[in-house]
Copies of this chain bind each other. A is one copy, B any other.
C-alpha cells in the first residue's frame, strides 16, 4: 500500500503564533504579499495577460513571468484561508480577471507564446516553460478555490488542462513530450483532487512516466529546431544536459538525485503524488531512493540543497562547498515539499526533521525580517571578497528586492502563508504533531471534533505544553514527533511521566488513550548547544564544527565578531551559553562563548612564514541564528568554525535560558 495514510490539516483549521512565528507570518501577510504584487504589476507580469504587447514594444512578456503571478495568487489564497482580507481578495480577483483575458479559445494560456513567439508555441518544451507556468497557475487556482470556493480560476485552468491533455500523451495523434522544468505533475494531481477529474491524474502519471525515455524527446525536439542535439555533445556534457532537465533517465531508474535541484525535487514531489494515488510501489521506492540521495549525501546542515552554481544543480556526493553554495531558496523549499509528501505516506520523524531543518534555516534565510528583501542563493560562508560590487544579484550576500528570474520570493511567500499544513496531520485514529509552534488545530478524529492547543516558546525554549479539547471523551492517538536532534525528550500526560521508549514508533511518541476535555500533555525537548560535525567523506568541513541548538543552526557574523572570521576557532573545551536577546533581530536566542582569534598584525609584508610562533588570544564569540543573518550590516558570515577538538573529549552542553 502506498496511498497516503495521513492528511495534512487544512489551513483554516490551524492557527500559529508565538514568539518565533507571529511576527514573521504577519510580515508575510502585510508586507511581503504587497511588495510582490507591486513587483509583479510594475514589471508588467500581470498586464502581460492582456496580450496587448506587439512586436517592437519594449518589455516583451517573458516565458516564465506567469509563474510569479501564479505563486503570488497561491500565497495570497493561503493567506485568505487563515486571515480574511477583502482588499487582498479583490486584488486576486482582478488578477484572475486579467489572466482570463489571456486564455485562447482552445484553452491555451501563455502570454509569451501567444504574442511574442507564437510560432514557437509547444515547439520548445525543453526551455519554453509553458507546462511549468501552467502548473503554477493550476496550483494557484486550486489554492484560491480551496480558500474561497470561487470557481472562475479553477475552471480556466481546467480548460487549459483539457487543452494540454488533448495534446500530450501516448495515444496516437498526441505528442509524447514533457516539460523541461517539472512542476505540472504535482499541479495536475492537485487539480485532479480539486475538480474530481481523474483524467488530470492520468496526465500527471503520463508526464512522470514518459520522462527520460529513449530516444530522447528533447534530442528530437532540438533536431526539429535545428539545434545541436544533446546526444551529439560529448559523453560528459550530454549527461549533464539531460540531468539538468531531468531527462537523463526515467525516474524509476535513477539512483542518485542529479541535475537542476528545483527541477529534480519538483519532479520527485509530483512523482510521490502519482505513486500514492496509483499505488505505484516501484515509483515510490525510486522517490525514496532519491530522497536518501539528497538528505544523506547532498544536503547542507541548513537543509539547503543544490550546492553547484553551474546548472543550479546537485553536485556529487558530499560536495558541499560553503562559499560557493548555491542552495537556492526554491530548492530548499522543494526539499520541504518532498519531505511533506513522504511524511503523509509514512509518518517517520526523518521527514519532519528535514522539514524543520530546511524551514528554520535554509528557507527562512531567504527573506529579510522586514519581509521585503529576498535571497536566491544561500551560502554558508561569506568572505570579504564576496561582498564586492561584482557579485551578481542571485549570489549577492545582500538580500535583493526582486530578481529578473523571480522564482524565490513568491515561493517563500506561499510556504509561509501555508505553514499550517506542515504542523499537523490526521489519520483515521491519530492526530500527528510534526512541528512545534504556539497555536492550535481544530480537526475531526474518529468522527469527533478535537482541538489541540500548543503553548510553547519553541524553538527558543524546550517545553511544549498541549491542552486537549474534545467534545466527548474519545479513544484516539496523539503522535508527537521526537526531533532527531533531541536525545533526552521527556513526556508527561496529565502530570504523570510516560516512558517514551514504550510508545515511540519511527520517531513519534504515540499517546493512545481515551482523551477528555482539559487533558494536558507536557513535552520537554532538551536543547543543549550542540557542536555538529559533517560526514568525513565531505572535504568541506573537515576540522570544523557548526553550532546548533534545537533545530536552529547558528552562524558568526562580522557585525558581532569582527572581520576575518576564518581566524576564529572554537576550542573543544570552550563553554557556550545561550540567552534570549529580545531586542536583537526580532528576538532570538544568542549563543556566546570564549573562542580564540589569530591576530593579523605582525607580519611585516610576509605572506608565508614558519608556523613556529602562534599568538592566538581569547575572544568572545557571538553566534546568531543562520536564518536571520544579513539583517544588520551585511558582512562576513560563517556557519562552520574551526575546532581543535581532540580525541575522546566531551564538551560542555550548558544551556542557560
* A interface, CB within 8 angstroms of B: 235-237, 240, 292, 295-297, 299, 301, 315-316, 319, 383-385, 388-390, 530-539, 542-543, 545-546, 564-567, 569, 598-600, 603, 605-616, 642-651
> What separation, in Å, do the CA atoms of A296 and B609 have in the docked complex?
12
Inter-chain contact A611/B645, CB cutoff 8 Å: yes
A321 CB, min distance to chain B CBs, angstroms: 8
Inter-chain contact B536/A610, CB cutoff 8 Å: no
Chain B residue contacts of A646, Cβ below 8 A: 614, 644
> What separation, in Å, do the CA atoms of A614 and B651 have in the docked complex?
12
Known: A316-B385, A607-B296. A567 touches B647 (CB 8 A): no
> What separation, in Å, do the CA atoms of A125 and B296 have in the docked complex?
53
> What separation, in Å, do the CA atoms of A413 and B583 have in the docked complex?
65
A-B contact pairs, 11 of them (CB 8 A): A315-B385, A316-B384, A319-B385, A384-B539, A532-B611, A537-B600, A542-B567, A542-B642, A614-B649, A615-B647, A644-B644
A214 CB, min distance to chain B CBs, angstroms: 21
Chain B residue contacts of A531, Cβ below 8 A: 610-612
- Known: A530-B610, A535-B600; 20 extra A-B contacts, CB below 8 A, are A236-B389, A236-B390, A237-B390, A295-B607, A296-B605, A316-B384, A384-B539, A532-B610, A533-B610, A533-B611, A536-B564, A536-B566, A537-B600, A611-B643, A612-B650, A612-B651, A614-B645, A614-B649, A616-B647, A644-B644
A356 CB, min distance to chain B CBs, angstroms: 13
CB nearest neighbor in B for A647: B614
Top 9 A-B pairs ranked by shortest CB distance? A533-B611, A539-B566, A542-B566, A236-B390, A236-B389, A531-B611, A536-B600, A543-B642, A536-B598
> What separation, in Å, do the CA atoms of A546 and B607 have in the docked complex?
13
> What separation, in Å, do the CA atoms of A534 and B614 have in the docked complex?
12
A437 CB, min distance to chain B CBs, angstroms: 23
A550 CB, min distance to chain B CBs, angstroms: 13
CB nearest neighbor in B for A316: B385
Q: Which of B316, B542, B608 contacts A598 (CB 8 A)?
A: B542
Inter-chain contact B543/A564, CB cutoff 8 Å: no
> What separation, in Å, do the CA atoms of A32 and B567 have in the docked complex?
44
Chain B residue contacts of A536, Cβ below 8 A: 564, 566-567, 598-600, 603
Inter-chain contact B385/A607, CB cutoff 8 Å: no
| Interface-central residue, A295, A315, A647, by most chain B CB under 10 Å | A647
